[in-house]
Amino acid sequence: MPAKILIIDDEEMFREDLAVLIRKNGYNCETAANAEEGLLKVSEFLPDIVLSDIMMPDKNGVDILDDIHHRNPESSVIIMTAFGTLETAIKAFRKGVVDYILKPFVIEDILNKLNLISEHKILMRELNYLRRHIAKEIESFTLVAKSEKMKHITELIRKVAPSESTVLITGESGTGKELVARAVHESSTRKEKQFIAINCPSFQENLLESELFGHEKGAFTNADSKKQGFFETAEDGTIFLDEISEIPISLQSKLLRVLEQREFYRVGGTRLFPMNARIVAATNQDLNLLIKQGKFRADLYYRIAVFEIAIPPLRNRISDIPALVDYFIKKYNSEMKKLCKGVEPDVLSYLMSYNWPGNIRELRNVIERAMILSNEDFIKMDSISQQVNNLISGNFLTKGLKNAVSEFEIAFVNRVIEECDNNKEEAARRLKIDASTLYRKLDVGKDKNSPTIGF
């Protein structure tokens, strides 16, 4: 949809000629001959940008700025005048104009200004949409955290977010480390600032240093101009260093200095810049093992692991799977315009008996594919990814529903007992059954020599 421009000016020839040129460049443009008519158009037309003259017969263009913003807060106002003074310009900017143009002006200049403002508005709308989308994702993350382990993680996020401490998030690939990082950011006092995610392995060593610290012109080959790095552009926001274990050892010492001194040099530069951003890091590697192997600095580890959040793999929190499945079905119902109500009982048992090496990311992909294939009210087994079929333990699908459910029940009970550190009374409480019932189920499992499905 083209941006909407409103021209308020009492000079008819100037006003209409400018409108014709603006329309020729793809904008939706309307005009008003005076301030009163202009304010009425602001309420009805809801322009993205208002081009307003200052000297008009009924009201001064600066004096109507408050009314414009009251009627449409989203309107950006550019003031036009042939009698500019510094005092008038200062007054206009204090009232919220985005630019001030002296007549006569070159049409290319006004078109460039309109283009820049329009692009900025589009970016801001996209940013606000993404912010709302991310906030919804984070809210869903907390809602689907049914297991005690994930409830504990959401509590850790709640406690650490308001602080300024560096956070280290650990866990296997696909467990949702970036989502946890965003939850920390969105729950902090920095939530209105930028969140910049950097995938460290995706950059070569010299490029990563330039991306983080920036560089000066001529710092290295092809450095034709100076460049700001993420530490500079993030300002008071949050920088997420994903897979920090992949940062070369030679660069780790420089990162450590930034974290300790809260300042840095651009590559090839001599000027110190302050580093005001918060650092949240993540890794799927065992950093203690890397330290022993000489691949990661111990002092950097101690600096980033001020507060550590370890995300368990999905196989260790199978009680989250039903809620995750329900969440992904609702998500793809919305995106694909479908009305799927859920999964068949045998499909859920099947999903809860799988090992999920790809964790939540793999589960999401399986449900997405099933949603594409299925046109039924409930997802059936034949819509589940062949990849999962090939990897599922044993001959689960050949046992029939009764035996499969019985086998799943024993596996589920064993997993809950494991999560309770073999405390069967606590396991019975979580399962909401009597302890005697739990022992009976375990005895039945032994009698049948039913295997514990691997988790």
Distance CA(161)–CA(283), nearest Å, equals 19
Reported as a single tens digit per residue, the pLDDT across 301-354 is 999 999 999 999 998 888 888 888 988 998 899 889 999 999 998 888 888 888
Two tokens at 315? 């196989």
CATH architecture for residues 144-312: 3-Layer(aba) Sandwich (3.40)
Provide the pLDDT for residue 22.
Answer: 93
What is the chain's mean pLDDT, rounded?
Answer: 84
Alpha helices in 234-358 (DSSP H): 249-261, 287-292, 298-304, 321-336, 345-352
Q: What confidence score (pLDDT) does residue 100 get?
A: 83
Structure tokens given for 235: 């300002």
| Residue 200 and residue 387 in contact, taking contact as beta carbons nearer than 8 Å | no
Residue span(s) of the chain under CATH 3.40.50.2300 come to 4-120
- What was the pLDDT predicted at 109? 87
Considering the chain, tell me which residue range(s) the CATH 1.10.8.60 domain(s) occupy: 316-447
C-alpha to C-alpha distance for 176 and 194, rounded to whole angstroms: 20
Q: What pLDDT band is residue 280 in, cutting at 50, 70 and 90?
A: very high
Report the pLDDT value the prediction gives residue 385, as an integer from 0 to 100.
60
Q: Which CATH class is domain 316-447?
A: mainly alpha
* Digit-coded pLDDT (tens) for 403-427: 656 656 776 777 677 667 778 888 8
Confidence of residue 128 (pLDDT cuts 50, 70, 90): low
CATH 3.40.50.300 occupies which residues in the chain? Answer: 144-312
What CATH superfamily is the domain 4-120? Response regulator (3.40.50.2300)
Whole-number percent of the chain with pLDDT over 90: 38
pLDDT in tens, 198-217: 999 888 877 898 899 999 98
Q: What is the pLDDT of residues 139-169, one digit of tens each?
A: 555 546 678 888 888 889 989 999 999 999 9
